[in-house]
Structure 1
Amino acid sequence: MNTPISAFSVYRKKPNPKIVKRQIVVKKQVKKKMTISLKKCVNKIKQKSTNPNPQKLKDTVKPRAVITHNLNQNFKKVDNKIKKTTSPLSTKLKKGTVFHNKDPVSESLKLFKWLIAPLSPTKFFEQYWEVKALHIQHNSPHYFSDILTTARLDSIFREFPLYYTKNIDVVSYENGVKEVHNEQGKVVASALYDYYSNGCSIRLLNPQTYDQKVHLLVSTLQEYFGTLVGANTYLTPPNSQGFAPHYDDIEAFVIQLEGRKHWKLYKPRGSDVLARESSPNLKHHDIGEPFMSVTLNAGDILYFPRGTIHEGRTDPDCHSFHITVSVYQHNSFADLLEHALPEALKKASLDNIRFRAEIDMDTEVRLLRYFCLRLVTDEKCSKLYYNTENAKIYHGEEEQVLEIDSDLIPTIEMLQSTYPKFTNVQRLVENNNSNMATIQLVSDLWEHGLLITNNSLTTGTDD
């Protein structure tokens, strides 16, 4: 697929001096004509009446029509045809109960019931939640029109300062290859529509930042699920696909707002069931045949558990606009224990003297995990990089590193070569002929949670 032409491509070429000069002259002429036209208009109004009627003034001075992109006009035509339906979102907005409702639990339940109707929440959690996919047809193209429309999306593109990668992704997938077409810096709506016209999908991240109803949707569902709820919107042109087959680390609710999209779902592979991390792009020969092929029409909703491999493509004659609501990202028991165990160990070391006892020569130790540390050496020093104290936020903490003398490298190598067997400290000392330095290194590794002992440590104090 050829790289789409965008508005930014104009600025990549070296400007022609003659053209630039001509543009300056034309701009001056246009500005002069607009000034003369404005003065004539004002004088005409003054001549008609010294105290003009506000309504007559409004009728006399007609604003120029704003030149918009053809796609924008098409989206507005679609929006005008939509018959607004009553939804929990519109009801709450009218009553002003976004944050002041006396019973937010019942409001959140009402919203979730509306999303998955006619299925009850009880049956959903018993039969589908974290188990299998579910497709619900509401047989009403306007069922979800109160959430977001393409006309409103166009307004977001034009009214808010959006930036590529941070707020907007422009992607395409063709012939087994996914491409990201993100420019540098700020987004221009006309450039987005150029990409769209060339078969690219447009993903808006966190639309709740810019739209009140989407914010109300995710915040109310957050009250229901008791965990973080996120959202992204996807605008896909006809006869195209934006993403390669992949799986996510979320429970996904795909809400079809406009248009139509065909989805294929593939079973998770082994340990990818209820995956804790999203996958890279996958190849079709690695994922087998789909267990579900379904067409989402406007007003439909599709749910599938995390780890479910999926892909979607539009018809040759119809665009697609949907919002994916994400739930339960990094919200498993494993995630809880990752956070809780280090704190529990820290508290135990403060409350119980056995956890602070000295490591003697007979103590048997081994690494916590084989890959829990990595030794990097250069001419100046040797460093141990470890990950037991990493933050869950991407780059949320500085690198975790210990500097060691080069004489202690044999100790690290011995700990790695003997893993997963335990080795007593005496053998480590004898291995590099450095008594105190080796014991200090073992103590440092123990304090940073990189070593475990075969038996509980004793305090070494008299009773």
Structure 2
Amino acid sequence: MTDKSPVTGALEKLIAPLSADEFFAQYYERSVFRSPVKHPDIVDLLSLDRIDEIISDSELPATAIGMAKSGQGLESSEFIGGNNAVDRGAVLDNFRNGATIILPQLHFADGKLYSFCLGLEREFGARVQTNVYLTPPEAHGFGVHYDNHDVFVIQVSGAKEWEIYGSRDGLPFRGEGFRKGVDETGELKEKFVLSAGECLYVPRGTAHRAPNHGNEPSLHITVGILVQTWAEFMLEAVAEASLRIPAMRNSLPRDMFFDRDKALAEHAGMFRQLSDELAAKADFETTLNVFSGNFVRAQGPRVRGALLALAEGIGSDDVLHVRDHILYSFETTPAADGEGEELQIVLSGSSIPLSDKLGAQLQERLSSGSLRKSQFDVSDAEELEDVIGTLVAYGLLIR
């Protein structure tokens, strides 16, 4: 069994006819880009029939659905019952009366969307999520606003009339949501209709609105790019360096908040001293290891086909492939007995310790893209069996 992403070259199809280099150099985090190219396989990620199935037949916790109408979200009591269960009839009745159905994080419940997101994560070096919006004719879910993360919009069916306004001064942090009546949106700059099969990129901080267009419901997928910033990286660097700077753990002077003149005269010097020491001791490579390790661990698993492989058994000469888009890394950590270091492979949900001999061979085989157990020259056959089985179970290897 093989595991193919439903959309190969996902980014290229979202931004066609641009290349990835052109997109990142000219548009990313800068300006809106509307792709003029329609790709049927992008539209095939989702359908009205699939939304109908999810609402009618799927397990649907209260957090898995939201609704909005005329520029603001509906109170959950409008479609969630007293037992915290989704009132499916109320959802559809609200939709009938002009409310947008919102399915947040649907990629966690849909294999096609999830594989699509995994492919984009490697392109952006960031977590990727989906929110799905089904808007009835002649309606809109939200008013003019901007998002605090970059988005790609995939119009699956129907059409939306997009209005593009100004951009805020400076990209927002993830926690800086749009404040209606407080944040400026600027003047209307551009207006166009996004039709089925078309894709749109909107950088974070660019204000927009998208009412429905025409007499059909609009179904679109918003793909959110949840980047990490240099500010977050530098905060981690400070935290890591603080472990080697004892003075960073001292409490602030008791009078610093109450005697401003004394603070400026005496305590500002300590601030400068600590800043200099941080500059000298903050380590890029150590911070990078922390960030990359956390990024790998936080990637959700993709285990389709693993159960069948484990149930049937994995023979010595069975070929196992490295699954597309699944992240892994090799790290050295202090040994459990406190003597020296040990190698481990890190992937979503698991860290597996390795003997030196198996670790070296495994790195080589994984980098080639495929392996068989019979290719390994190890004395501990039980360790090999356990490690390969675990890599199958956690989705890195697929038969």
The reply to whether TM is greater than 0.5 is yes
Question: Given residue 232 of structure 1, which amino acid in structure 2 is its aligned partner?
Answer: N
Does 2:187 correspond to 1:289?
Answer: yes
Provide, for residues 322-378 of structure 1, a one-character-per-residue CA deviation record: whole Å limited to 9, x for no partner: 00111133x1101211222122122333xxxxx37999xxxxx87xxxxxxxxxxxx
> Which residue of 168, 172, 180 maps to 2:74?
180
Instruction: Supply the AA of the counterpart residue of 1:294.
Output: F
After TM superposition, the score normalised by the length of structure 1 is 0.52
Question: Quick check: 1:144–1:256 contact (8 Å CA) kept in 2?
Answer: no
1:284-314 Cα shifts (integer Å, max 9, x gaps): 9942312221211000101011111111101
Partner of 1:169: 66
Distance in 2 between the 1:324 and 1:455 partners?
A: 45
**Displacement after TM superposition at 1:188 (Å):** 3.1
- Structure 2 counterpart of 1:371: none
1:182 corresponds to which letter in structure 2? S
2:96 aligned to which of 178, 193, 197 = 197
Q: Are the aligned partners of 1:259 and 1:298 in contact in 2 as well (CA < 8 Å)?
A: yes
Change (3 A) 1:412 1:357: closer
- Given that residues 154 and 221 in structure 2 are in contact (C-alpha distance below 8 angstroms), is that contact kept between their aligned partners in structure 1? yes
Offset, 1:418: 4.5
Q: Secondary structure at the match of 1:123?
A: helix
Q: Is residue 109 of structure 2 the alignment partner of residue 266 of structure 1? A: no
1:151 corresponds to which residue? 49
Q: Does the alignment pair 1:240 with 2:145?
A: no
**Are residue 311 (structure 1) and residue 209 (structure 2) matched?**
yes
Residues 145 and 209 of structure 2 are in contact (CA less than 8 Å); yes or no, is this contact kept in structure 1?
yes
- Counterpart CA distance in 2 for 1:97 and 1:357 is 49
What is the aligned partner in structure 2 of residue 421 from structure 1?
Answer: 264
Structure 1: runs of 5 or more not aligned:
1-94, 100-106, 350-354, 360-364, 367-407, 425-450, 458-463
Gaps of 5+ in 2: 275-399
User: Is 1:209 paired with 2:108?
Assistant: yes
Alpha-carbon distance in structure 1 between the residues aligned to 2:172 and 2:257: 36
Letter in 2 for 1:453: M
Distance in 1 (CA, whole Å) between partners of 2:202 and 2:85 is 34
Counting only pairs closer than 5 Å after superposition, residues 348-367 of structure 1 correspond to structure 2 as 348-349=245-246, 355=247
Structure ID, larger Rg: 1
Question: What's the CA shift for 1:232?
Answer: 0.6
Q: Which segment is superposed worse, 114-123 or 277-286? A: 277-286
Per the normalisation by structure 2, the TM-score is: 0.60
Residue by residue, what CA displacement relative to the aligned partner does 1:89-137 show, whole Å, maximum 9, x if unpaired?
A: xxxxxx72249xxxxxxx9872221222222112111111111110112
**Counterparts of 2:12 and 2:137, CA distance in 1:** 32
Do 1:233 and 1:321's aligned partners in 2 also have CA atoms closer than 8 Å? yes
Any conservation in 2 of the 1:108–1:223 contact (CA below 8 Å)?
no
Q: 1:115 to 1:347 in 2, by over 3 A?
A: same
Partner of 2:355: none
Aligned to 2:210, what secondary structure does the other structure show? strand
Amino acid at match of 2:188: P
Q: Which residue of 2 aligns with 1:352?
A: none
Asked if the contact 1:158–1:188 (Cα under 8 Å) also holds between the matched residues in 2, the reply is no
What is the aligned residue count? Answer: 269
SS, match of residue 147 in structure 1? coil
Partner of 1:125: 24
Amino acid of the structure 2 residue aligned with 1:263: W
Q: Which fold has the larger relative contact order, with Cα–Cα distance below 8 Å and residues 6 or more apart in sequence?
A: 2
- Tell me, what secondary structure is at the counterpart of 2:59? coil
Aligned-residue RMSD, C-alpha: 3.1
Identity %: 28
Q: Which SS does the other structure have where 1:113 is aligned?
A: helix
CA contact (8 A) 1:248 1:277 kept: no
Tell me which amino acid in the other structure corresponds to 1:180. Answer: L
Shift of 1:242: 0.8
User: Distance between the aligned counterparts of 1:283 and 1:296, measured in 2?
Assistant: 27
| C-alpha distance in structure 2 between counterparts of 1:285 and 1:339, whole Å | 30
1:155-198 residue CA offsets vs partner (Å, 9 max, x unmatched): 1112322233x211111125xxx242323412133221101011
Secondary structure of the residue aligned to 2:258 is: helix
Closer, same or farther: CA 332–341 of 1 in aligned 2, 3 Å = same
For residues 358 and 133 of structure 1, the distance between their equivalents in structure 2, rounded to whole angstroms, comes to 47
